[in-house]
Structure 1
């Protein structure tokens, strides 16, 4: 007993009672310096002090001296020999010191190591099946998203090209459709025609460059006709610039490069319809009221939302936003990001996030403050949007568009005005999706996480079957 060390147990007991070392020393009849030595395992505990602890704090002395160190030492010794650590493992003296002085840190380390091996096992099982190729491949959409994010979703050369194109088009926003058709005809020899739904066979726009014809489906409204013509103008006026940017993306597959060209041309089209300085000024003036911005530039809600993510010019930045669009099944159909927020790639985003509830309130702005598992907080607002339907046999294509920014920028956005910025309870704790969310106390959990082992107690039932 004379050699028994109880530093971590003693410190935990004192902390639980909210006592200082001086207060504990008075209760035990010893000096504060002696309590400090005991807590740091620089003195072994005596029988007299153990008896004093039992009398002063009502604890069983046997619980204080119960030693699971041997088992913990063996587990820790095995963990540090894992091949993932490239250096020589700590010796026994260092391991014992860790157990004596930082037992909670050791527990965290061992739990992290266990979770790491659980994730490796899941990946091995996946890799052994039909999903091996998918596991190692980077999807084109992911590569494009990463490429845009590396540039903070802002391309200065495309902005300059768009400004030149808009100046060449001339005229007011009210006459933009006619002016776009005129400019395409005079500058590039392209004829614009509107064709019937049957003739277009489900296509909204068909650009035949060899024939010099741009066909637009009659189902497109005025706003979307403008965007499609601006997209064609981007393709023919920025050919070499688009080639350079696609090459710089490093995307290996031809379909991926073609998809990247489409997204870059969409960027130019939005910049033509909403010139940088003008749209940024309108955004700041209206506190990012998307409907008022859309009205000024004769564009759609979704077009404005996506354009706002690109306002990252050095010295003239707007609010850094992320953009997410989902369908009724929860699939992510488009995403752009100029923030630290981690966006879901393949749907299944968190049900605690009210992005899904927007479908129940078409046309209404649904705002929310959210917190990610890493404690990063964001302000988000969501609203439905619709896509053109080319056949009466197709269901209505209603989607939800969400914009979000870091909480520090929320005061610049009018949609955040009704919230109390100091109310902690207004922040919803969300994750990317259940498969990779580490939250242990979420009553909306639908799947056990791949990388965390959730403790299960057969005698208790939490709010979900994954929670004890």
Structure 2
């Protein structure tokens, strides 16, 4: 495949503005002419190798930040939104992909405003469809779903919150012999808070009146450790969490409350698996999830999720995507530091091996896959069912997938023995049927909304229509 040109005009402008430089001064430091810099900032020219090297040498800039991660996410989200029938009432169809990429690169704020508008429309439409009293909504205005708003906050932060991550790493460094849960318990004890393990279905309960934290003895040890650290984060790191929430400017108290717990969860995972030691261990074990889980006292899911957050500037890990689905195929957790993005509405592509993980509990499934844009990935999938801890308690069944672009496969133990050569077979997958470009797919659930259909009444293949 040909090397993709790098268009990063918005990042260049943002960097220049942050440094307080004029275009003329910035061009001089980068060793290019003023017109050339202007063309790069407006994405009329790709960023040259000379400029990339100058950014690193002159300003210590982490050139990996020039990658189009945010732009690709925006393009994916806009394509899915534009697949909505409300935008396809005439023959014009959806805007060309090139136009969407220019919008995401040159006007990201406009792209996000468009996505917020579409989410507001969709939310109102769904309320009316379910006979919800949308007109009686308090204040008479439209708001995003708090859950979606928080998910987007983490999504567009690359699932990496630097201040919280470093605070968690600093706390972990104080733990004797690396026993982070014991350090958390000692801190709580120092605040006059008692830890109690009891027979209860509630994972964690903090009684402020008595100063008692109760954890369930029915939960797995790694779950109890995580909940212990989460409770400590809510108490010890409250000022940091609140300051981060202030910067996020959530539209509702509900969204802020959800994000508050989300940040505490982030701290707990980052303390249990501190950035520096965890990154080193991941490289040493070649990202063996089971070995990492044993070493850090974490679950397989916690380890996989943590791997997807290793995006610290200057010390980035392998860019992974991470997703969790339920038995209905609904995505319950998602993040991608790769070019692969996930559907915002509905389930994941049925050809993805994450769905087959339910059939093989306790085993890792490997898959080589290719998306319609020609990018190839290696991914692993595994069921991560959660026991209720007692007879008769319901079992929560999930499956997760972790993967990266195939160029990083050599750093994964799961790639051993796979044929990655030119003759290797990569399964075709997509984002969701609504926006998938593939014209021939035996598992297609619904027609793509961006393309015309050709109906043949005298012929029937796998699908009752052909995609033009």
CA distance in 2, matches of 1:171, 1:355: 37
- Greater mean alpha carbon deviation, residues 288-297 or residues 430-439: 430-439
Cα deviation per residue 1:224-264 (whole Å; 9 max; x = unaligned)?
11111111111111111111212222321222211111111
Match of 1:165 among 151, 165, 171: 171
The equivalent of 1:448 in structure 2 is 447
Q: How does 1:51-200 map to 2 (within 5 A)?
A: 113-116=91-94, 129-130=128-129, 138-173=144-179, 176-186=180-190, 188-197=191-200
**What is the CA distance between 1:210 and its match in structure 2?**
4.3
| Aligned CA distance change for structure 1 residues 112 and 216 (closer, same or farther; 3 Å) | same
1:461 touches 1:467 (CA, 8 Å); kept in 2?
no
Which has the larger displacement, 139-148 or 377-386? 139-148
Please give the per-residue CA displacement for 1:149-191, whole angstroms capped at 9, x wherever unaligned: 3222222211221123223443344xx54443222111x2221
CA distance in 1, matches of 2:247, 2:235: 20
Residues 142 and 345, structure 1, Cα contact 8 Å, conserved in 2? no
| Distance in 2 separating the partners of 1:115 and 1:461 | 27
Give 5+ residue unaligned stretches, structure 2.
1-87, 96-117
Bigger drift between 125-134 and 360-369 goes to 125-134
Q: Which residue does 1:73 correspond to in 2?
A: none
| Alpha-carbon distance in structure 2 between the residues aligned to 1:310 and 1:128 | 34
Deviations 1:22-62 (A, max 9, x none): xxxxxxxxxxxxxxxxxxxxxxxxxxxxxxxxxxxxxxxxx
Structure number with bigger Rg: 1
- The separation in 2 between residues aligned to 1:327 and 1:154, in whole angstroms, is 24
Deviation at 1:347, TM superposition (A): 4.1
User: RMSD between aligned alpha carbons?
Assistant: 3.0
1:272 positional shift: 0.9
Q: For 1:282 and 1:391, locate their aligned partners in 2 and report how far apart those are by CA, in whole Å.
A: 34
Is the 8 Å Cα contact of residues 203 and 224 (structure 2) preserved in structure 1? no
8 Å contact from structure 1 (residues 154, 313) kept in 2: yes
- The one-character-per-residue Cα deviations of 1:132-160 (angstroms, maximum 9, x if unpaired) are 969x7533333223222322222221122
**Counterpart check, 1:389 vs 2:388:** yes
**Equivalent residue number for residue 421 of structure 1:** 420
Residue pair 1:177, 1:225 contacting (<8 A) in 2 also: no
**Matched residue count:** 348
Judging changes above 3 Å, is the alpha-carbon distance between structure 1 residues 406 and 446 closer, same or farther for their aligned structure 2 residues? same
CA contact (8 A) 1:149 1:338 kept: no
Q: Helix, strand or coil: the match of 2:434?
A: helix
1:326 aligns with 2:325: yes
Distance 1:395 1:240, change over 3 A: same
Distance in 2 of aligned mates of 1:459 and 1:115: 28
CA distance in 2 between partners of 1:337 and 1:209 (Å): 38
Query: By how many angstroms is 1:271 displaced?
Result: 1.2
Give TM-score scaled by structure 1 length.
0.68
1:109-132, Cα deviation, whole Å (9 max, x unpaired): x99944349xx9x98x95895279
The answer (yes or no) to whether the contact 1:190–1:213 under 8 Å persists in 2 is: yes
Instruction: Report the Cα distance in structure 1 between the residues aligned to 2:418 and 2:151, rounded to whole angstroms.
Output: 31
Q: Does 1:435 align with 2:443?
A: no
Call closer, same or farther: CA 1:443–1:311 in 2, change over 3 Å: same
Contact 2:321 2:338 in 1 (8 A): yes
**2: distance between equivalents of 1:418 and 1:232?**
43
Q: Deviations over 1:373-399 (max 9, x none)?
A: 233322211111122415533332221
Corresponding residue number in structure 2 for 1:312: 311
> Within 1, Cα distance between the matches of 2:91 and 2:375?
25
Distance 1:415 1:163 in 2: 28
Unpaired stretches in structure 1, ≥5 consecutive residues: 1-109
Distance 1:412 1:141, change over 3 A: farther
The answer to whether the 8 Å contact 1:384/1:398 transfers is yes
Q: Match of 1:405?
A: 404
Residue 379 in structure 1 maps to residue 357 in structure 2 = no
Once the two structures are overlaid, the 10-residue window that deviates more, 268-277 or 435-444, is: 435-444
Specify whether residues 418 and 142 from structure 1 end up closer, same or farther in structure 2 by C-alpha distance, changes over 3 A only.
farther
Q: Answer whether contact 1:385 1:401 (CA < 8 A) is retained.
A: yes
Cα distance in structure 2, aligned partners of 1:362 and 1:346: 27
Shift of residue 344, structure 1, vs aligned partner: 2.7
Alpha-carbon separation, structure 2, partners of 1:139 and 1:407: 35
